[in-house]
Structure 1
């Protein structure tokens, strides 16, 4: 039976990069598999996907702040 990916995390010590010619961003990630193995990779995002991810992560940060009691 093939190994399945369970999730991906940000790759420590590496930074996201934007390529203006390709109009894409690249976020280094580590894929985790159900057998415990990992594999380095990249999440490639178009400009529209970058904007969508920014909106989503902003909402997550706002929810985090509210949960900590920082913002009402």
Structure 2
């Protein structure tokens, strides 16, 4: 049976990059496989996806702040 990815995490110590010419962003990630190994990879995002991801992560940051007792 082939090894499968169970999840992906952000790669520590590596920054996201935006290529204005290609109008794409690249976020370094690490795939975690069910056999315990990992593979380096990249999440490639269009300009619209970069904006959508920004909105989504902003919502997460707000929810985190509220969970820690910040303003609603």
Match of residue 25 from structure 1: 25
1:70 positional shift: 1.2
Structure 2 gap ranges (5+): none
Structure 1 gap ranges (5+): none
Match of residue 46 from structure 1: 46
The Cα offsets for residues 20-46 of structure 1, whole Å up to 9 and x where unpaired, read as: 000000000000011101000100000
Structure 1 runs (4+) deviating above 4 angstroms are none
TM-score, normalising length: structure 2: 0.96
Query: Number of residue pairs matched?
Result: 72
Q: State how far apart, in whole Å, the 1-side matches of 2:65 and 2:44 are.
A: 28
